[in-house]
Amino acid sequence: MQVVEAKGVRIPQIGFGTWQLRGAECSTLVKEALRIGYRHIDTAQAYENEAEVGDGLKAAGLPRNDVFVTTKLVLRLTPPVQFMKAMKESLSRLKLSDVDLMLLHWPPFQNPMWKSRWVRWRWL
């Protein structure tokens, strides 16, 4: 599988997106995607399927280091201090101790609170 390298991290170029997948179908398709060779799974809080993605990851039975997992946090109306809480909730739903890439889904830069604090959060 082709990968992109960024700061020593090898990211599979092609990922399996889970937008609009729900319930048992989501879990089954994540498991099947991993069975046929996908090694990058993409989800988000906004998709409301992190628990099902986690079930599919577990059902696939691959070592955690063999799968690159991306999820995204929805913080449009939440102050930046809620970032860690939201991240822990995502990890819990995914049944993982970590993810490989955590993104802000549509960060609200028009919100003055975010503009003034964004520099402080760039290290995350």
Which are the catalytic amino acids? 47
The DSSP result for the chain, as a single string, is --EEEETTEEEESS-EE-TT--HHHHHHHHHHHHHTT--EEE--GGGT-HHHHHHHHHHHT--GGG-EEEEEE--TTS-GGGHHHHHHHHHHHHT-S--SEEEESS--TTSHHHHHHHHHHTT-
